Structure 1
Amino acid sequence: MDTEAQHTERDRPSPVEERSRSARISGDDSSEPSGPAASSDPSEGGSARGRLSWRGAGLLGVACAVFLLLLSHFVLQPFLIPSSSMEPTLQVGDRVLVNKLAYRFGDQPRRGDVLVFDGTDSFVREPADGNPVTDLLHGAAAALGLAEPDETHFVKRVVGVGGDRVVCCDKEGRIRVNGTQIEERYVFLGDAPSKVPFDIVVPEGTLWVMGDHRSRSSDSRDHLGSPGGGMVPVERVIGRVDWIGWPVARWTSLPGTDAFARVPAAASVPSGAGGHG
């Protein structure tokens, strides 16, 4: 018997041991980094994701701003009330929402409506040209209700429309429109309807407007001697004030008024109606 041959056969590993050893070697090799992907820095991926998220947030912010500006330009514009001329209906600091579609489809301003309008050439002269960049930024902020409106923009109540005869004041100290006495419950408590007497006929296509706080309002009465006689062209109307949007405590729709419900149409006014007596 060949003893050396027997020892050689006993020392040779079995097939099962061979497979086990191969599996261990292969598992050890797989844990070692190989190729460019295994050697990459994880922080680089996080930084790229961060840049993408910031870029996405920036683009979303720009898109929202553009949307709000378009909405403000064509549909619903916030307007910051800068003075007390419309108290108690509107107070200083109120942000009202101006409905720009109110008169877009053929409807016309009515007596009692509260409007925002451009007073250029009726209440104020054409403003001098300023810094284009500053004007653009201010215009954008004003359009979002974040800054005071342009100096040419006003908010007042319609008292007379085209063809109306508006007179102040009768023996009881009231305004008359087309011969009908107006009970102006919206006027600031303690204010007279007007301390300035007037007797005017509103030209077609224009409006006679007044503030609710008569003693604090510069309105059509103050421009009787100006070009246009204090009348506001309908085409200069920006929109109707329909809601108070801010502050939250005053968040409501603007109350209507029935003060002009009995006023007849201008065409049916008899000659000489509406005088001081």
Structure 2
Amino acid sequence: MKVIREGLSWGKALLVAAAFSIGINVFVFQPTKVAGLSMEPTLHDSQRLMISKIGHTFKEVPSYGDIVIVDSRVDRERQLVDDFQDHIIIHFLLKAVKGTEEGRHIWIKRVIGLAGDTLEFKDGHVYRNGEKLEEPYIKEEMSYESSEVITVPVDHVFVMGDNRNNSVDSRFVGSIPLDHVLGKMLFQ
């Protein structure tokens, strides 16, 4: 009997600790790892980062140049359950139960445009509100060009990878709703 009570006591303590840990990771801070080359030369494949989730929790608007993590599934409404499912431990548990891997929808990108901004892509550069951006962080001159002028909608941001010639970003999926901006890089 004493062994069972002791085991239940330990089990409760472990559940409380796990719930606290998941809560911190979902709403405050989250370690993450870069997957791919789209943020080179600033960030590298498999590099570890610490992300602040406070902006997402309190619905803050990021600033120009911020490196953020986003949910690229812009065609669907994001809900609180998504924040928990994106937690690394829960993600792997769900993967084990479902037996399949969902496509990578969490991206690390740089904020280039905010609501109301107009963006153009010409002559190998990004122009925001008619002015060419000075971007010392990009890997190389961009080969992408478009005659389209994009206006970032209200409650959205426009994000791009620093490796412009090897990045799938807002140029291809559109502007990212603010509730899909999941966090901001603190340090690497």
- Determine the structure 1 residue equivalent to 2:71: 118
1:199 alignment partner AA: V
- Determine the structure 1 residue equivalent to 2:133: 182
- Determine the structure 2 residue equivalent to 1:131: none
State whether residues 113 and 158 of structure 2, in contact with CA within 8 Å, keep that contact through their aligned partners in structure 1.
Answer: yes
Matched, 1:156 2:109: yes
State whether residues 142 and 150 of structure 1, in contact with CA within 8 Å, keep that contact through their aligned partners in structure 2.
Answer: no
Deviations 1:208-249 (A, max 9, x none): 1110111211111223xxxxxx111112111111122xxxxx
- Determine the structure 1 residue equivalent to 2:167: 217
Over aligned residues, Cα RMSD in angstroms?
A: 3.2
- Determine the structure 2 residue equivalent to 1:140: 89
Give the superposition deviation at 1:206. 1.3
State whether residues 196 and 221 of structure 1, in contact with CA within 8 Å, keep that contact through their aligned partners in structure 2.
Answer: no
More strand by percentage: 2
Q: Residues 149 and 196 of structure 1: is their aligned pair in 2 closer, same or farther, counting only changes over 3 Å?
A: farther
Question: For residues 239 and 91 of structure 1, what CA distance do their matches in structure 2 show?
Answer: 18
State whether residues 85 and 218 of structure 1, in contact with CA within 8 Å, keep that contact through their aligned partners in structure 2.
Answer: yes
Q: How does 1:1-40 map to 2 (within 5 A)?
A: none
Matched, 1:240 2:184: yes
Question: For residues 150 and 238 of structure 1, what CA distance do their matches in structure 2 show?
Answer: 17
Matched, 1:203 2:156: no
Give the superposition deviation at 1:152. 2.0
SS in 1 for 2:157: strand
State whether residues 85 and 91 of structure 2, in contact with CA within 8 Å, keep that contact through their aligned partners in structure 1.
Answer: no
Question: For residues 101 and 137 of structure 1, what CA distance do their matches in structure 2 show?
Answer: 16
Question: For residues 41 and 127 of structure 2, what CA distance do their matches in structure 1 show?
Answer: 22
2:89 alignment partner AA: A
1:204 alignment partner AA: V
Q: Residues 113 and 194 of structure 1: is their aligned pair in 2 closer, same or farther, counting only changes over 3 Å?
A: farther
Question: For residues 156 and 137 of structure 1, what CA distance do their matches in structure 2 show?
Answer: 17
Give the superposition deviation at 1:65. 2.4
Question: For residues 165 and 109 of structure 1, what CA distance do their matches in structure 2 show?
Answer: 17
State whether residues 74 and 180 of structure 2, in contact with CA within 8 Å, keep that contact through their aligned partners in structure 1.
Answer: no
Aligned residues: 171
State whether residues 142 and 149 of structure 1, in contact with CA within 8 Å, keep that contact through their aligned partners in structure 2.
Answer: no
- Determine the structure 1 residue equivalent to 2:31: 78
SS in 2 for 1:112: coil
Deviations 1:97-133 (A, max 9, x none): 22111254463122111111112234xx79xxxxxxx
- Point out where structure 2 has 5 or more consecutive residues left out of the alignment: 78-83, 93-100
Matched, 1:90 2:40: no
Matched, 1:192 2:126: no
Question: For residues 199 and 136 of structure 1, what CA distance do their matches in structure 2 show?
Answer: 36
State whether residues 79 and 142 of structure 1, in contact with CA within 8 Å, keep that contact through their aligned partners in structure 2.
Answer: no
State whether residues 117 and 238 of structure 1, in contact with CA within 8 Å, keep that contact through their aligned partners in structure 2.
Answer: yes
Question: For residues 137 and 112 of structure 1, what CA distance do their matches in structure 2 show?
Answer: 24
- Determine the structure 2 residue equivalent to 1:270: none
